[in-house]
Amino acid sequence: MPPLRLGVHPVAGGLQIAVCAPNASALEFCVFDSDAPHAGETRYQLHRSQGGVFSGQIFGLGIGTVYGLRAYGPWDPENGHVFNPQKLLLDPYARGVTGKIELVPQIHGHETDADMYPVYPLRPDTADSAPHTVRAVVTNTPFAVAGRPQIPWNETVIYEAHVRGLTENFEDVPGSLRGTYAGVAHPATVEYIKSLGITTLELLPIHAKFDEAFLLERGLTNYWGYSTLGFFAPEPSLATAHARRAGPQAVLDEVRGMVSILHQAGIEVILDVVYNHTCEGGVVGQYLSLRGLDSREYYMHVPGDPGKFYDVTGCGNSLDFSRPRVRQLALDSLRYWAGEVGVDGFRFDLAVTLGRFHQDFSPTHPMLDAIATDPLLANLKIIAEPWDIGENGWQTGGFARPFSTWNDRYRDSVRAFWVSDARAQFNRSNRGNNPQQLATRLSGSVDLYGRSDASQNQGTRASINFVTAHDGFTLADLVSYNDKHNEDNLEENRDGTNNNLSWNHGYEGWLTPTDPDFACLPGADDILSERTKTMRNIFGTLLVSAGIPMIVAGDEFGRTQNGNNNAYCQDNETSWLDWNLAPWQRHLQDTVRYLLQLRKAHPVMRPQGFAKGLPTRGDTLADLSWYDRKGHPLSGRTWVEPVNRALQMLRSGKPSGDQDLLVVINGTSESVLMKLASGRHSRWELTWDSTWENPTEARKETVTQPQKGPTNGQEAILAPFSLRFYLATPIS
């Protein structure tokens, strides 16, 4: 007999049910008359079969059935068994969720006091949780999603966005659609994403969630959504009011419709997914799904002490991927979102947890190998956040094919070179770091991702290059604040990282000419000018670096979070994009659009393989070479000298059938005369300068005064802290 499909599936005449709970003694399938809190309930006893799976088939039920689960078994907290049939549980495979979880004592499996703290010794709570929690709803997929755009990796530009934050304030989107899945798919949103030059939209978590108790007590929510309740159901609160009223099937249809419309526009959709932990908290958290179903089976426990969770996520619990059923749950979820919802890839939050045997991480862990060998998943865009907070938790570059990983070394190196080092020079504390780290990151981070085994060498696409992400300062705040300002999170500014590598350029806080204090601040125009130039430097670096660039929504026009570098609980104007742009913001937006067009047009800006510093076959120019301000090659000791923060990177365009590219960098506080590196029998034509406020107007000026002469005789004066791109043009 083949293994049963886990979950609840419509079959001829009824529903087929299969739920995994190996340590339970009995399991009930509970059908409700409606989604009302006190709706009538009918219970069906499921049969225990092989492998700890409880199953059954009920005739007369189908799409739209509202249901939950109740698990029976021992109450033995010290050994990790905490069964309580008074608690209604969400099916881990539920495709749709209805209702609301109330933060009340009844949603705990153990007795609590008036403040919902556990009463010791732990005893089972006898109150029914059904009126106070969510229920599952059976759904289907009635229409086909448009085919995948299948953007090649070396053409990919990722745009990280939140479903609500992207369009909540977007006036070009109708009010009823703003902040929803449908709003993301609206023609105005799609046109903006396309016009910017984005190929791939990465959405912050859209799995059904439950906000942490400490946030609810403070009147806040988990806006980012890293608090998963169900791995198959979409989060209802991000759907339109119309879809929410119509029910979970309409919510799912809206999500699938969004994916389909984006595909038709040639835009990929990647989901940020959280399989490392759930919303149920620590050992005395809420009983919502996995904890009540079989806590010992699903969660990681301290070796030799099954009554305690082994937490490597900082969220109270961690799923145990050494267990086959946990791997199956995650893999089935991934296949569902990829196969039936149609998404194009996944970014795994705290992905090291997925490859753990408690203390030890392995890139060949069964879970990671399963993704790598799955016929559907292995061909998608698979991205890891390569760390968690457990032992051996930093694994940037430590994942194997097909994983690309977020490159935090890239983030820190670029921030240091353009921001914190500039701050040090401004304050005359030191000359800043040498250029070696920046050069390594521009080249694709071969130190992290290079593999001697050709079968595992993915080239530069292994590195997801980013300078900002949802977690941390926005780009504008990175150049506007020396310190985080997270007071609105109500944690006394203790949350969020202190290692921001930021600089306020002389004034702490957001600054725009429309601010009342702008006219009264001495040098305000200069401060704003230097900030925007630094942002352009960062964008230029990002988009000429080998690897896959990721841009955070709104950074392209300098959005602010008012210094909050951990806005996970700010479902308000702090996090929502403000589309009312000042002139300088539109100029920055034009710059990003121009750079993305340039990157698309010139493969030399996005090399796929690691350079060797030697000519490729049939070429006379090295694939990659580096020079100092005098046009002399950089090598050996010269790399570690801060004076060489004024340097040049020359990439041969011949391997990609393109023009040669010269990137000239001045990372010092003084203007520098640069003798441009010698290339072929051609001249260097200035293509972009980070001192240009708007590239369109600057290009018009450049075209009227083309540079003369061969590359071995050209010179240029670079402004302090600035960046230029040159392309080789044959001498006529």
Active site residues: 349, 385
Q: Of 469, 466, 271, 497, whose CA–CA distance to 389 is shortest? A: 497
Q: What is the DSSP letter of 632?
A: P
The CA distances from residue 93 to 141, 289, 517, 532, 561, in Å, are 15, 10, 54, 48, 36
Alpha helices in 473-549 (DSSP H): 475-478, 524-544
Largest CA-CA distance found in the chain, in angstroms, rounded: 88
Per-residue tokens: 370 = 């399963």
Alpha carbon 571 to its chain centroid, in Å, reads 18
Angle between helices 583-601 and 695-704 (to 10 degrees): 60
Of the candidates 673, 661, 676, 675, which has an alpha carbon nearest to the alpha carbon of residue 717?
A: 673
Sole residue written with tokens 């992290």? 448
The answer to whether the beta carbons of residues 180 and 222 sit under 8 Å apart is no
Q: Which residues pair with 552 in a beta bridge?
A: 160
What is the Cα 502 distance to its own chain's centre? 21
Tokens 């698990």 belong to residue? 71
Taking the CA atoms of the chain, what radius of gyration do you get in angstroms? 28
Give the span between the Cα atoms of 714 and 678, in whole angstroms: 9
Nearest-angstrom CA–CA distance, 46 and 518: 69
Q: Look at the block and give the residue holding tokens 């000026």.
A: 701
Tokens encoding 585:
């913001």
Assign 513 to helix, strand or coil.
Answer: coil
Task: Calculate the alpha carbon distances from 168 to 160, 165, 205 in Å.
Answer: 16, 6, 17
Cβ–Cβ under 8 Å, residues 614 and 622 = yes
In angstroms, the CA 584 to CA 511 distance is 11
Amino acid at 605: M
Q: Euclidean distance between the first and final Cα of the chain, in Å? A: 76
Per the listing, tokens 């709706």 go with 39
DSSP 245-311: HH-HHHHHHHHHHHHHHHHHTT-EEEEEE--S--TT-STTS--SSHHHHHHHHHB-EETTEEEEE--
Strand ranges inside 149-257, DSSP E: 158-161, 200-203, 207-209, 228-234
- If you count DSSP H runs as helices and E runs as strands, how many of each does the chain have, helices first? 17, 32
d(CA 257, CA 266): 14
To 10 degrees, what angle do helices 524-544 and 408-415 make? 140
**Who's near 470: CB < 8 A, 6+ residues apart?**
160, 162, 204, 224, 552
Q: What does each C-alpha distance from 615 to 612, 621, 622, 655 come to in angstroms? A: 8, 5, 4, 9
Neighbours of 33 (CB within 10 A): 11
Compute CA 299 distance to the chain's CA centroid, rounded to the nearest angstrom.
Answer: 24
**Measured between alpha carbons, how far is 89 from 431 in angstroms, rounded to an integer?**
60
Helices (H), 688-732: 695-704
